[in-house]
Structures are given as structure tokens and as C-alpha cells.
Amino acid sequence: MSEVVLKNICKIFQEKKVVCDLNLTIKEGEFLTLLGPSGCGKTTTLNMIAGLETVTLGEVFVGGKKYNDIPARRRNIGMVFQSYALFPHMTVDQNIAFGLKIQKKSRLEIFEKLEWVKAMLQLMDKGRRYPRELSGGERQRVALGRALVLSPQVLLLDEPLSNLDQELRESMTTELKKIHQNVGCTMIYVTHNQMEAMRMSDRIAILKEGRLMQCDTPMNIFNQPKNRFVATFIGAPAMNMFPAKVTVQDGESFVDIDGIRLCLEKDRSIALLESKGREVTAGIRPQQIFYFKDREGRRHSDTDVDAEILLVEPLGERLMVTAKMGKREMVFFMISDRVPVPGERLSTVIDGRHIHLFDRESGERIALGE
Amino acid sequence: MTPMKSFTLPDRSTVVWFVTLCVMILVVFIPIYFMFKYSISDRSSIVTGGDIVPLWPYHPTLKTFAFILGYPDFYRAAGVSFKLAMLTITMSMTLGVPAAYVLSRYNIPGKAVLLMGLISVRLFPDIVSIIPVAVAFARLRLHDTYFGAAMAHSLLALPYVLYICMGIFESIPKDLERQAEILGAGKGYILWRIIIPLSATGLAAGAIYTFLLSWDEFIFSYFLLGFGELTTLPLYLKHKMAFAPPQDLLMAISMLLSLPVIVFTMLLQRYMRSGLTAGAVK
Amino acid sequence: MSFLKESLNKYKLEFLMLLPVCLYLTGFLVIIFYYLISLSLTYVAPDYAETFPSLRNYFFIFHSPEFKTAFLNSLLFVIVGTPLELAAGLVLALLIYRNFRFRGIVRSIFIVPLAVPAMVTAIILLVLFEYPSGHINNILLGRHWFFPEVIAVPVNWRDSAFFALGVSLLGKVWRDMPISMLILLAGLNSITLDQYLAAETMGAGSRQKFRYITLPLLLPSISTVLIIRSIEMWKEFIFPYFLARRYHLMGTFIETLYHDWNKQGEAAAVSVILVFCIIGFSAFLFWFLKRVRVGLISI
């Protein structure tokens, strides 16, 4: 396994900048996901690491060596395609052993490696079947096995789960993480599904229109999104986001969202005293708005907000509620044995420590020291 | 504003490709060109008395066409061909379209057998099929009749009609029919008012293909009509050949024979793509 | 049994729609089989006395030198013609496969030979290959500026089996190459780019990609072309009829027997033999191609 370093990578295709000035380091043995909406350049970046696309500007280093001019077939990089790209005229055994055969490995070695990979991926009795006889999940495992059997330096995966149905996707997500723990190779994963990214990755790199928005661990990205885009992209349901203003009253600063005045925790309250009147965007995760009965204890930074229920969606273990608070609609969760009806009013609590503030224009996070 | 692309010399494989492309286009065109050339040739371009025949007529003329088109025998033969083709279309579409519909919608136990039967008809060379048919038709007194010839032509056309129409019907979603059924329409109504209009283009393609098949047909017509009253255009052409006519006449007739075919084939070649590839037994 | 009756009642309309075609086809098949068998097994003596059943037709056929020539000619025709058609179709398909601007138009141009009636093509070739001063002869004799002199005396293309059948083979291949092209194009288009990319990441170079991916994946199309076109070669009638009537292929031999010599029985016998040839040859080809396919990819 090797470390991958992308330095100032740019890809320009027909005058269009598909990837701009990307700087990324993927550590040895790390599972990193390139996450972003369609067209953000994640697959292009993956292809550049694989050598299937040329790098317009910048450098790609694998294991410390510059790989820009090395053709794909000599990079020893494994890749799993979205369509699996299995060879329809070859059996599972022949598919997996393809790379080994090209390297002219001995029959014994091929056999041993084949058995190892098939055992790891639970394909033991499928060796003589053809791709058309396999289920979607089995085909995907063959595609994985085909890449893993060559002991690649890096394993690249291009949205391998998007062709599977929901249930299969669940189990494969866990499978992939287990395989990563077993084999320990550097894995770079591409997806637009943030749930997958959160569950599987050591770190996530979020891309938008060819630029890197944030690269950090899943929890950090969830709790401290660097900008508005990341904040709304990660987390389902999406963060409640509104234009707001910083106001100062009685020597404390507050965040005004259209008729609701929210308290902040002490440190931020002091730091924002200078930004009186500043226009910001405020974000609150649904998970951070509480039905007052669900909240134990009370803090200085809590605000009580009246809510008028508009819509209730039962999720099983809890309820997802859309309610009118102030002049805005917000989404939050409720644990209750009684399902409230639309039109009912109830009291909620918003914890000021978990209000995210972003600059109105740039969308960048307003950190404490600004 | 996009910058000017710099001119690079094409690599070797592109040159090879391009040259081969030109050669093959020429190969395809040459026979057609000559047919065209002779049909518009004047006498002096053909009868040169020892000098080489020119590659382009000295005085292109449409006289030969005018001559043929005024010749009653030609008209008669063309008329016979036309009527025969129309009769063939009627017969093969009447037989084939309903059957294609049923085959495309239902999974009948004997489906494979039926399709095998179809293919096996095409396995026999025309010359092999025609002898028994000619003998049988002679005994049934179908020899030298429109009906007999149309039956034989329909036999040839049915596999294609079935294949094309099955393809068309399969592309119409079953949900449309189910919807109509729920809304209260009977099966006949659905067929007539929904299926047929939707598949009209495809059916037209099948009809035109059948027309061309019958129009060009030589072997079956030769055995069933050849020595009798009815003459189709291909038979007329063959008949003329026995008298060693000048090439311009030959070619002009050929042109007139081929023209509908070429025109329609070019227009329809999008539709016929699938029909040709799998029904490529001739 | 009752299930059958039930479904028959329910689907009365559909049954009626399907029945005519079945009857029609069965009728013809019955007629063909019946007459072929009965005619071929009926010996008509010179005094018009009929004997049935009799294998004398077959006896005469197997001992006649004309039949042996016709059979050999047909066999050669098939063995030479089928690969030729495959090659022509392959060339055309590969030419079109490249992505270029006038692709659609060129493809339409390549389909033109199929649009010309076979008979017309044969007659055109008759004119082109005329002896002594048809165009081909003129060109080969160097009488035009753009071609060197290749032969000294004009060739009589109808004079020998080789030339006559050769020209008819040429016509047949010319006319039917679009079909091979279309089948091969479909095969080429079914190979996805992904598979080539995956192979690259596993270390495959151009030659390996061709040998392990392109060729095996194209093999089904090639097999289809070979089998279908070989059947067509056996069946060929029109081109040899117009261009090489004297040098019999099985098809034209049947016609001669029937029309010129009025030997219906023998004609039927040759027909039966021809059908068996077709079936036998196709089966053999099918088996052979299967072996090749398996042999190409083995670990």
C-alpha cells in the first residue's frame, strides 16, 4: 500500500476546468472518499490517479514517485468500475486471474491467490460461473476480487454501490469496510451518497465544481463544516439554514432569525460583540433542536422557541417534525409516544453551542477568532 | 473564442483507414455507376466498332428511357409486378400482423417451435422449395395465376413480416393495453384504435419491405409464371436478354427495376437495420 | 387437457389470429416435404412408366459426373466465398467503427449493394466482364490511362469454370457484404469501453487487449456471419444462373435438370442432397467454431 499525493492538480477539458487546483494527501492504508454532487470532478480525479486520464497541470505522486507520465497499465493501481466491467466471456476464475495471467505468474501462484481472494469475498463456489449467472452483489465482489488479487498499491472504487438496490447497498457498505480492515490497503472511494461516505471513510474530501471544499474525518465534517456547501451537503435531513443577523443586547450578542432571537455560548457571544449588525447565514442541524420534554437539564446558551407543527413524519424510533418557528419553517426530531397533529403548538429548545454561522457572502465558516 | 487548432499530419493508421474508405466507396459505386451510365448512353457510345467503349457516354441521352416507357410490353410487365406486389402485401400482412401481435404479447408453449418452423423455411434454397411448390401448384391449377405467385411470395415474405412486426409490437408497452382494458375497452377495440395507429410506421416499413421483396423476386416467379401469360418485370428483363439486346436497353430496364428498391431501401434503412441483422438469412 | 380447452376458450381471438400463419407455414412445409420425397423417390422410365418407391434417381445422381462437378463446385464456392464475405464485412465494419463526421452517410452508401436486385447486379457484371471488349478487359489490357497493362489478350470470363464462377462469387460477395458488416458492427458495438479500461488497470497492453477482449467478444458475431453466409452460399442461384450457367453449382444443376432435361425426380433428389449438405455443413461449422471459442480463453 502506498501514499497518494495530489499537488495542484488541474484538469482542463475543452476549455472547461473540470478540476481546479486540487491539493490532497491520502495517507498509507487510509480509506478516503471523494464526495460531491454530479459533475464535481471526483471521477475525473480518480481517473487521473489511475492513469486513465492525463493530468493537465500539477503532479500525482504515488508512494513518493511521480506518476504523471506512467501509463495506467504500469501503475499497479487496482480499480473497480461503476459498471463492474466484468468480461462476459470469462468465468469468475478467469476474470479474477486475468491480471495475474498477463503478468505470466505460475499456475500454482495463480491458484493460491485465486483461492485467497475468493475466500475473503465469499465466492468460493462461484468460480466456474459466468457474470451473467451472478447477482449484482456477486458481480461486484468479483470486480473487487479482480482488483485486489494483484495486491495493488492503491485501490480505486468508482461508485461501485450505485447499481445495487437498497438492501444490498447496506450490506455491501459494511462488507467494504470489513475488507478494508482485513486487507489494509489504501482505498480511494468515489460517491455522491453522503451516507456511504460517512459510514466507510477514515476521511472525506468534499468536492464542488472541481474544487476541494473540505477534507476531514466524518465527525469533524459533520460537527464543524467549513462552509455552507459542506454544511448542507452532509447530514440528512439537511441542516436548517437561514439568513440571520448578529444583534447585541445587554452586553451579549445574539443571532436573529426572522423573529427568533437565539442565544449563543459565552465565548462566541463575546467574540461577536464587535460584529454587531453583521449579516450572516445561520445553520442548525435538526438533531440539535429539541422538544422541550426530550431535553434534560438547561444551559445558559439554550433558547426556548415556540413551534407550530405543520407536518409529522414517523420514522419508527422517532418522529420527524416540520414546524413553523418564528417566520421560518424548521425540521427537527421528536421522541414521543403520542403523535402530535398539525396545528398543535409545542415548545422547543435550541442549543446555542450548535448554531453554525457562515459569512453571508462567502459562505465560509465564521470561526471564533474573526 | 476558441484558439485555432494546429494542423498535425495524420498518423499512419489514419491514412490507411482513409485510403481503404475511399477504395470501398469506389467499389460500392462502380457497378451502380455503370448501370446508370449505360442507361443514358447514346448509340455512338456503345457501338464503337473497335475503339474502346468510353467510361462516360459521349452524348448522354434519355432516349432509351423514353423508348422503354412507351413500350406496351414493358408496361404490362410493370403492371403485373405491381399488382402482384400489392397482392403479396395484402396476404402477408393479413397473415402476419395478427400473428406477430399474439406472439409478441403472449408466451405460448409452441412459440419456439413456430419460430423454428419459420427459420427452417428459409433454410431451404429457393430453388429447392420451388420445385415441389411448382408441381403442387400446377396440379392445383394455381400455375400462372396472380394468386399462386402471391402465395409463393408471401411465403418468402412472412418470416420478415413476422420478425419486423414482432419487434414493433414489443416496443409498445403492455401497460397501455392494460390501461385501456381497465378503462373498459374490448380487445378488438384496443387492437384497432390503439395498437395499429401506434405501430403504423413499423408496419409501413414491413409493407414496403414486402413490396420490394416481391418486386425483385425472380426464382419463384420464373417457375410459377415463366412460361405463361403473366410476366413480371424481372422475367421481362430476362426474356429480353435472350435476344442479346444492346447494353443501353438492358441497363435502362435494370435502372427502372432497381429504382424503387434503391430509393425505398435508403429511406428505410434505419428501420431495416434490426431486420437485416438477425433475419439475415438472405 | 381441460386446461387446454379452458385457455382456448379464453383466448379465442388470439388463437384465431395465430392460426392462419401456422396453417399456412405447415401447409407449405408439408407440400415441400411431400413432393421432394415423393418426386425424388419416383423413377420415371423413358417410356414414362413410374416406379415408386425407387432409389434409382439417387443412384443415377451419385454416379453422374455432372453431379460430382456440381457438388465440388458448390463446396469450393462455399469454402472460398464465406471467408471472403467475412473479410469484406469486417473491412466495412472496421471502417465505420471509427467515429467520424460523415459516418451516417457512408454507412448508407455501404448498404447500397443490398438494395440492388441480385438479378440486376448479375446483369451489370455481365456487361462489365464482356469479352472481348468489356470494361474490365479494357482496363486490364491497359487501354485506359489510369491502369497499367496487366494482360496481353482479353480474357473470356465465361470460358472456364474458374472465371465464370469467380465472377459470380464476386457479385455475390459484393451484394451481400452489407449484411456481414451490420452483424459485425453490432458485435463491435457491444464491447464497452469500461472493459478495455479495466484491462488496462490490470496491466494489459494493446496486443493483450485485442487477444483477450476484442477477439473473443467479436467471435460470436464472426461465427454468426460465417454460419449464415455459408448457408447462403450453398443456396446461391441467381448469380451462377446468369453468369455461369454452364458450370453447375448444385442450385443451377437442379434448375437444368428440371427445365432443360425434364428430370423432375433427379432434380428433387439433388434438392434433398443439397438440404442435407446445408444442414451437415452448418452443424460442422457450429461445432468447429465452438472449439475455437473455448480454446481462445483458457487459463
Q: What's the pLDDT tens digit per position in B160-172?
A: 888 888 888 888 8
Computed from CA positions of residues B243, B247, B252, B258, in that sequence, does the dihedral angle turn out positive or negative? positive
Is B57 among the domain residues? no
pLDDT digits (tens, 9 = 90+) for C156-166: 888 888 888 88
| Chain C nearest-CA residue for A100 | C202
B75 lies in the same domain as B40: no
| Chain C nearest-CA residue for A111 | C299
Tell me what pLDDT residue C1 has: 61
| Chain A nearest-CA residue for C211 | A102
Which cell numbers in the block locate residue B268? 428505410
B84 lies in the same domain as B129: yes
Q: Is A281 helix (H, G, I), strand (E, B) or coil?
A: strand
pLDDT digits (tens, 9 = 90+) for B214-259: 988 888 888 888 666 788 888 888 888 878 777 777 777 787 788 8
Ordered DSSP codes for A69-132: TS-GGGS-EEEE-TT----TTS-HHHHHHHHHHHTT--HHHHHHHHHHHHHHTT-GGGTT--GG
Which of A73, A90, A93 comes nearest C203 by C-beta? Answer: A73
Q: How far apart are CA A79 and CA A144, in angstroms?
A: 8
Is C43 among the domain residues? no
Intra-chain end-to-end CA distance of chain B, in Å: 53
Is B66 among the domain residues? no
The per-residue b/e assignment along B68-92, b for 16 or more CB within 10 angstroms, e otherwise, is: beeeeebeebbebbbebbbbbbebb
B265 lies in the same domain as B167: yes
The beta strands (E) that lie in B27-162 are given as none
Instruction: Tell me the chain C residues in contact with residue A102 when contact means C-beta distances shorter than 8 Å.
Output: 202-204, 208
Q: How far apart are CA A320 and CA A331, in angstroms?
A: 7
- pLDDT lower than 50: segments of chain C: 299
B40 lies in the same domain as B83: no
B39 lies in the same domain as B76: no
B141 lies in the same domain as B41: no
C-alpha pair distances (Å), C228 with each of A74, A230, C285, C291: 42, 60, 10, 18
The arithmetic mean of pLDDT across residues B268-280, rounded, is 48
Q: How far apart are CA A214 and CA A211, in angstroms?
A: 9
Q: Any residues with CB less than 8 A from the CB of C2 and at least 6 apart, and which?
A: none
Is B5 among the domain residues? no
Q: How far apart are CA A205 and CA A221, in angstroms?
A: 9
C149, burial (CB in 10 Å: exposed 0-12, middle 13-18, buried 19+): exposed
Q: Residue B179: which CATH number? A: 1.10.3720.10
Q: CB C138 to CB B53 under 8 A?
A: yes
pLDDT digits (tens, 9 = 90+) for A147-160: 999 889 899 999 98
Which cell numbers in the block locate residue B207? 409493407
Tell me what pLDDT residue B1 has: 41
Q: How far apart are CA C183 and CA A313, in angstroms?
A: 55
pTM of this structure = 0.72
- Supply the ipTM of this predicted assembly: 0.80
The beta strands (E) that lie in chain C are given as 43-44, 50-51
Q: CB A81 to CB C217 under 8 A?
A: no
User: Is residue B204 within 8 Å of residue B164, measured between CB atoms?
Assistant: no
Interface check C55 vs A, CB under 8 A: no
Tell me what pLDDT residue A126 has: 87
Q: Is A6 helix (H, G, I), strand (E, B) or coil?
A: strand
Which of B24, B108, B250 comes nearest C91 by C-beta? Answer: B24
Among A257, A255, A230, A229, residue whose Cα is nearest residue A243: A257
Query: At B48, is the pLDDT very low, low, confident or very high (cuts 50, 70, 90)?
Result: low
Among B250, B216, B31, B32, residue whose Cα is nearest residue C129: B31
pLDDT digits (tens, 9 = 90+) for B91-147: 999 998 888 888 888 777 777 887 888 878 878 888 888 888 888 888 888 888 888
Please state at what angle helix B126-139 crosses helix C12-40, rounded to 10 degrees.
90
Interface check C228 vs A, CB under 8 A: no
B180 lies in the same domain as B221: yes
| Shortest alpha-carbon distance between residue C104 and chain B (Å) | 10
Count up the domains in chain C and report the number: 1
**Parallel/antiparallel/unpaired status of strands A154-158 and A16-26:** unpaired
Which of C201, C208, C297 comes nearest A90 by C-beta? Answer: C297
Q: Which of these ranges, B46-55, B151-160, C214-223, has the smallest mean pLDDT? A: B46-55
Computed from CA positions of residues A193, A194, A195, A196, in that sequence, does the dihedral angle turn out positive or negative? positive
B122 lies in the same domain as B34: no
β-bridge partners, A252 = A249
Per-residue pLDDT tens digits of chain A, which is 370 residues long: 788 898 888 898 888 888 888 999 999 999 999 999 988 889 999 999 998 888 988 999 998 889 988 888 888 899 999 888 898 888 999 999 998 988 888 889 999 999 999 998 888 998 899 999 998 888 989 999 999 998 898 999 999 888 888 888 888 888 888 889 888 889 999 999 888 899 889 999 999 998 999 999 999 999 889 999 999 999 888 899 999 888 888 888 888 888 788 888 888 888 888 878 888 899 999 988 888 887 788 888 888 888 899 999 988 888 999 999 888 899 999 887 788 889 989 888 988 888 898 988 888 888 654 3
- Residue C247: give the domain boundaries: 65-296
Q: Is the peptide bond before C132 cis (omega within 30 degrees of 0)?
A: yes
Which cell numbers in the block locate residue B133? 411448390
Is B101 among the domain residues? yes
A46, burial (CB in 10 Å: exposed 0-12, middle 13-18, buried 19+): buried
- Residue B25: give the domain boundaries: 13-45
Is B227 among the domain residues? yes
Q: Residue C178: which CATH number? A: 1.10.3720.10
| Chain A nearest-CA residue for C217 | A89
pLDDT digits (tens, 9 = 90+) for A271-304: 888 878 888 899 999 988 888 887 788 888 888 8
Q: Any residues with CB less than 8 A from the CB of A317 and at least 6 apart, and which?
A: A335
Is B105 among the domain residues? yes
Q: Which domains does chain A have, with CATH numbers?
A: 4-233 (3.40.50.300), 240-359 (2.40.50.140)
B41 lies in the same domain as B155: no
Q: CB A88 to CB C208 under 8 A?
A: no
Tell me what pLDDT residue A61 has: 92
Is B165 among the domain residues? yes
Conformational region of residue A262, where left means phi above 0, alpha means psi within -120 to 50, and beta covers everything else: beta
Tell me what pLDDT residue C71 has: 92
Query: At B276, is the pLDDT very low, low, confident or very high (cuts 50, 70, 90)?
Result: very low
The per-residue b/e assignment along C178-217, b for 16 or more CB within 10 angstroms, e otherwise, is: bbbbbbbbbbbeeeeeebbbbbbbbbbeeebbeebbbebb
Count up the domains in chain B and report the number: 2
B164 lies in the same domain as B206: yes
Instruction: Tell me the chain C residues in contact with residue B267 when contact means C-beta distances shorter than 8 Å.
Output: none
Q: CB C179 to CB B266 under 8 A?
A: no
Q: CB C194 to CB A83 under 8 A?
A: yes
Query: At B5, is the pLDDT very low, low, confident or very high (cuts 50, 70, 90)?
Result: very low
Q: How far is C-alpha B81 from the chain's CA centre?
A: 13
CA angle, corner C184, sides to C183 and C190, nearest 5? 100
Is C175 among the domain residues? yes
Is B34 among the domain residues? yes
